[in-house]
């Protein structure tokens, strides 16, 4: 595949090659960074009519797009596999997820965008009608990663479009092709010119930030900091969904087969290239051996390769594979053991076999740095308290999972974990819960995607309108009143405001 780095200047047209086979997947025309401002200006102009359609009008256009996605799912997945080297199992999840999100957003967007009334804080303010209106930010810049180039390209764009914004999408320079197909589908389904795609690396991403009214970035923590710094120059709001090192805790009363199945799927799905993948496991010593044996059994049954009949595919590039290799080699050199895999797969493509590591600890990068590869480090712990302490001993805080037959106990553990979401007796499932916010703590991000109507409103500005119910009382504290009248007004305000604190203090 065309391999570029965020610092590489791109121009002209390049051939995109599959990281699994080296076959040509397609061609991409790189956007000149100087053109991005004009593209954003065109979106900003078209956005005004899109906003005027109202939520119901926008819902019709988005429903047609959902139908197009369903009808062209096979075409999208073929291109997705060609440019990423995914297995069919990996690729099959992305379009259905988008259709699910669209279906939900279509249902709630009218409610999300409707003005809200707010009560008066004190009885004396009941003479006012308070309403909050949600006004879309004209252009939302979406900078998407390469690991899910279909889902991550649109899962945030859907909320922005529902809010009445225009969307300026910059896909990863490593996976540019599917974004073009998604844009073509928007146009083919009758969508207006409020969705544009620009292609490139760092310079184009910077131009997107400089030309947008809101920035949604998904990617590494290091790059996220740079996005935040650049957006801050213009006081442009942003939301960052960044890296993770998600822990799993397996209690002594867990369903071991279920936990093992979940750990293997959560670690190996998409070759481990998932922000909320299982990257480290802490198992109570009473069930450690049984859990490890079940994990090895499941891993040995996996089939690695691109396309049909395989469980997971290639890593996106040799650079990504090198990180996985380093983490495994360093761990083994420090005393860990690889029970499966452990070395790069021979032959063509950036494949790395599923690798189970034991004898690991927090002195090893495989337990502290984001791997983003098909590895599963497992650590024995003496107590749940130790598991919680180790799970929280990380600069990351995206999500986690807890396995126990006692759901109440699992919830007690969950609320002690420093992360944005915890799955109980499951992994990754919070991604499907669009009514819940998905956001990271610490270096895993700022803000959240999804969260019900908040996933739409995040792309809006709030405008409060305070209107009179009656003219009685208006101007009570204006300068034209006598000093005696102002003193009476201030005294009344103080007494009324103190009424509740006095009652509460008794």
Beta bridge partners of 403: 250
How far apart CA 282 and CA 241 sit, in angstroms, is 25
* DSSP-derived secondary structure for 344-397: PPSSSSS----EEEES--TTSHHHHS---SSEEEEEEES-HHHHHHHHHSSSEE
Q: What is the DSSP-derived secondary structure letter of residue 53?
A: T
8 Å CB contact between 340 and 290: no
**pLDDT score of 6:** 38
Cα dihedral 73, 77, 78, 83 sign: positive
The distance from CA 146 to its chain's CA centroid, rounded to whole angstroms, is 13
- pLDDT score recorded for residue 8: 52
In sequence order, what are the beta bridge partners of 216? 142, 239
Q: Compute the distance between CA of residue 28 and CA of residue 399 in angstroms, rounded to an integer.
A: 35
CB 341, CB 371: distance < 8 Å = no
pLDDT at position 10 is: 82
Kind and range of the H or E run holding 169: strand 166-170
Residue reference for tokens 């997820």: 97
Residue among 117, 194, 211 at smallest CA distance from 158: 194
CA distance 193 to 190: 9
- Name the residues annotated as catalytic: 241, 275
Helix (H, G, I), strand (E, B) or coil at 268: helix
Q: Residue 9: what pLDDT? A: 63
| Distance, CA of 251 to CA of 406 (rounded, Å) | 10
Query: Angle formed by the axes of helices 54-71 and 94-113, to 10°?
Result: 170
State how far the Cα of 395 lies from the Cα of 225, in Å rounded to an integer: 14
425-464: burial string, b at 16+ Cβ within 10 Å, e else: bebbbbbeebebbbbbbbbbbbbbbbbbbebbbbbbeeee
Helix (H, G, I), strand (E, B) or coil at 482: coil
For residue 226, how many other CB atoms are within 10 A of its CB?
17
- H helix intervals, 234-312: 256-268, 288-300
Q: What is the pLDDT of residue 288?
A: 98
**CA torsion angle for 59, 60, 64, 67 (degrees, to 10)?**
60
Helix (H, G, I), strand (E, B) or coil at 274: coil
Residue 4's pLDDT is: 38
Q: Which two tokens stand for residue 368?
A: 């502290």
Nearest-angstrom CA–CA distance, 51 and 70: 26
Cβ 177 vs Cβ 83: under 8 Å:
yes
Containing 225, the helix (H) or strand (E) segment is: helix 221-233
| pLDDT per residue of the chain (506 residues) written in tens, 0 to 9 | 333 333 456 889 999 999 999 999 999 999 999 999 999 999 999 999 999 999 999 999 999 999 999 999 999 999 999 999 999 999 999 999 999 999 999 999 999 999 999 998 887 788 889 999 999 999 999 999 999 999 999 999 999 999 999 999 999 999 999 999 999 999 999 999 999 999 999 999 999 999 999 999 999 999 999 999 999 999 999 999 999 999 999 999 999 999 999 999 999 999 999 999 999 999 999 999 999 999 999 999 999 999 999 999 999 999 999 999 999 999 999 999 999 999 999 988 999 999 999 999 999 999 999 999 999 999 999 999 999 999 999 999 999 999 999 999 999 999 999 999 999 999 999 999 999 999 999 999 999 999 999 999 999 999 999 999 887 767 766 787 788 877 887 888 788 888 888 888 88
Tell which residue, 226, 172, 221, has the closest CA to residue 200: 172
368: left (phi > 0), else alpha (psi -120 to 50), else beta? Answer: alpha
Distance, CA of 360 to CA of 223 (rounded, Å):
29
């Amino acid at each position: 595949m065309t391999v570029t780095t965020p610092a590489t200047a791109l121009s002209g047209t390049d051939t995109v090659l599959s990281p699994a086979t080296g076959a040509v997947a397609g061609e991409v025309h790189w956007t000149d960074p100087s053109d991005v401002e004009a593209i954003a200006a065109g979106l900003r102009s078209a956005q005004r009519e899109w906003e005027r359609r109202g939520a119901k009008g926008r819902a019709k256009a988005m429903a047609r797009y959902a139908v197009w996605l369903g009808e062209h799912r096979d075409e999208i997945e073929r291109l997705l596999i060609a440019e990423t080297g995914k297995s069919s199992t990996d690729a099959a999840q992305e379009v259905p997820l988008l259709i699910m999100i669209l279906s939900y957003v279509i249902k709630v967007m009218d409610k999300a965008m409707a003005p809200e009334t707010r009560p008066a804080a004190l009885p004396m303010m009941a003479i006012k009608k308070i309403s909050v209106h949600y006004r879309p930010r004209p252009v939302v810049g979406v900078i998407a990663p390469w690991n899910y180039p279909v889902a991550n390209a649109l899962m945030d764009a859907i909320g922005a479009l529902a809010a009445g914004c225009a969307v300026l999408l910059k896909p990863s320079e490593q996976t540019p092709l599917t974004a073009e197909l998604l844009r073509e589908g928007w146009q083919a389904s009758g969508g207006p010119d409020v969705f544009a795609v620009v292609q490139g690396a760092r310079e184009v991403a910077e131009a997107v930030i400089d030309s947008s009214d809101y920035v949604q970035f998904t990617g590494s923590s290091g790059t996220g900091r740079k996005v935040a710094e650049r957006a801050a120059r213009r006081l442009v709001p942003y939301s960052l969904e960044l890296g993770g090192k998600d822990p799993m805790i397996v209690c002594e009363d867990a369903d071991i087969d279920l936990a093992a199945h979940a750990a293997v799927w959560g670690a190996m799905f998409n070759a481990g290239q998932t922000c909320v993948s299982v990257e480290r496991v802490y198992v109570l010593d009473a069930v450690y051996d049984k859990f490890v044996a079940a994990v090895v059994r499941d891993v040995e049954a996996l089939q690695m390769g691109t396309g049909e009949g395989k469980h997971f595919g290639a890593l996106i590039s040799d650079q990504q594979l090198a990180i996985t290799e380093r983490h495994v080699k360093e761990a083994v050199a420090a005393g860990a053991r690889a029970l499966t895999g452990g070395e790069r797969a021979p032959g063509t493509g950036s494949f790395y076999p599923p690798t189970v590591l034991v004898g690991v600890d927090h002195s090893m990068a495989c337990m502290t740095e984001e791997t983003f590869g098909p590895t599963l480090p497992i650590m024995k712990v003496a107590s749940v308290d130790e598991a919680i302490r180790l799970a929280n001993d990380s600069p990351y805080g995206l999500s986690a999972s807890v396995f126990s037959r006692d759901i109440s106990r699992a919830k007690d553990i969950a609320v002690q974990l420093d992360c944005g979401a915890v799955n109980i007796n499951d992994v990754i499932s919070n991604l499907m819960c669009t009514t819940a916010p998905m956001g990271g703590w610490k270096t895993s991000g700022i803000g959240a995607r999804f969260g019900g109507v908040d996933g739409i409103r995040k792309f809006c500005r709030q405008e409060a309108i305070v209107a009179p119910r009656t003219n009685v009382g208006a101007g009570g504290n204006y300068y034209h009143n006598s000093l005696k009248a102002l003193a009476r007004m201030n005294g009344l305000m103080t007494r009324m405001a103190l009424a509740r604190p006095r009652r509460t203090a008794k």
